[in-house]
Amino acid sequence: MTLSLGASISDFLDYQRDVRRMSHHTVSNYRRDLNHFEEFCRASNCTSPRDIKESVVRSWAGQMQRQGKAPATIQRGLSSVRSYFKHLAARHADISNPAIGIRAPRRPRKLPKTIEADRIGALFQRPAESTLEKRDQAIAELLYSSGLRLAELVDVNLEDLDRREGVITVTGKGDKTRTVPVGVAALKALEAWIACRPIGQEVLSAKAPLFVNQRGTRLGQRSVQDRLKKLAKATHLGQNLHPHMLRHSFATHLLESSGDLRAVQELLGHANISTTQIYTHLDFQHLSKVYDTAHPRARKRKTP
């Protein structure tokens, strides 16, 4: 019995809508992707799903790439085709999934946003007077000084901070612990915060959280995000501020100064150095600016 490409696609869409109860949005995406795929297959003389080989799917993905489709669009299309053939393979023993091993081109990684080193000082120039201001300053100083993730920051306990040695121990992804240095400015801000830190209903013990709210309970991630936004506004930073931006700035500025990618990897707690390598792109931007400014043959002439 001949299995029609168009009819089998319609059957798949009906199944997603009526049996699996997929949302209208999801079914519409499936329909758009599979209609486009069907047009390509018919142009390639494939009128039945049994005619479609891996090479056809690869050619379709390649055509989308040449047309300038975004990697996310190509990935979604391939995902739709994989789902369609998975549906068919479950019903027809002679049909395999030709899209199973095909992946879209990787999405270009967005360079993380950072703060210029000379602008970081704006966050800390204004004296912290209230308890909340001292806490917020200590948070910002620690994020920038040690490159902590937000989740690591809020999980830190008093016992994790070694003020004498100037280090802090945190638990990162995969429950891996690492010990990182804490700068002098951050230590000073932490001392000021700890001196006025609310105790609340808990006993001020080593196991107590380092950062707490006004009730003395552990500060949450959303609260940290909100307080940093307010800090940026109060200090006229001129841009939005979020915890990971301070982590990115820590990594970028450290790499600019040291050039030691492996050390930055260890301090950030990256399991794979390829994750850290994105900062080399930022570092190259910095070097390009230095080159354009300093090299006698690179300086651009000013327009008369």
Positions marked active-site: 149, 173, 244, 247, 270, 279
CA distance linking residue 171 with residue 160, whole number of Å:
10
Strands (E), the chain: 161-162, 167-171, 177-181
List the beta bridge partners of residue 170: 178
Distance of CA 124 to the CA centre of its chain: 26
Question: Does residue 148 come out as left (phi exceeding 0), alpha (psi in the -120 to 50 range) or beta?
Answer: beta
- Concatenated DSSP letters of 213-243: -TTSSBPPHHHHHHHHHHHHHHTT-SS---H
Q: Provide the 10 A C-beta neighbour count for residue 125.
A: 8
Sheet containing 167-171: which strands, arranged edge to edge? 161-162, 167-171, 177-181
